[in-house]
Amino acid sequence: MKKVFPEFITNLPEANITFEGITGWLLQGDNRQVVFLEIEPVGAVTPHSHGEQWGIVVEGEMELTIGGVAETFKKGDFYHIPAGVIHSAVFRKKTLAVDVFADKDRYRTK
């Protein structure tokens, strides 16, 4: 997979993401966060919930289960997770995504 995120993105502060094999660069706004994600084929990410989230797959694919409904998202597909809804993901191949979080403090920097 060729390098998708340019240096001005990968020079952003790195997000402190607790899931092994997932790197994110954090663009912090006053009331929102945007995270540019590089996700290795880590398998399953455990079910969790937080504030509202919207994202788009830039490369690769993921299986995302939102509120008990599983769907596969590929390059160009976008998704929306309402606030408080339990969701999980499975990554079987390297995936790049951009997520926007309604929570201004969803992630802290490393």
For the chain, domains (ranges, CATH) are: 14-101 (2.60.120.10)
pLDDT tens digit string along 82-98? 999 999 999 999 999 99
pLDDT tens digit string along 22-70? 999 999 999 999 999 999 999 999 999 999 999 999 999 999 999 999 9
Q: Which two tokens stand for residue 36?
A: 């540019």
Check: CB of residue 42 under 8 Å from CB of residue 19. yes
- C-alpha to C-alpha distance for 104 and 55, rounded to whole angstroms: 16
Residue 9 confidence (pLDDT) above 80? yes
pLDDT at 2: 67
Say what percent of the chain tops pLDDT 90. 94
Model's pTM, two decimal places?
0.93
- Tell me the one-letter amino acid at 43: G
- C-alpha to C-alpha distance for 51 and 9, rounded to whole angstroms: 24
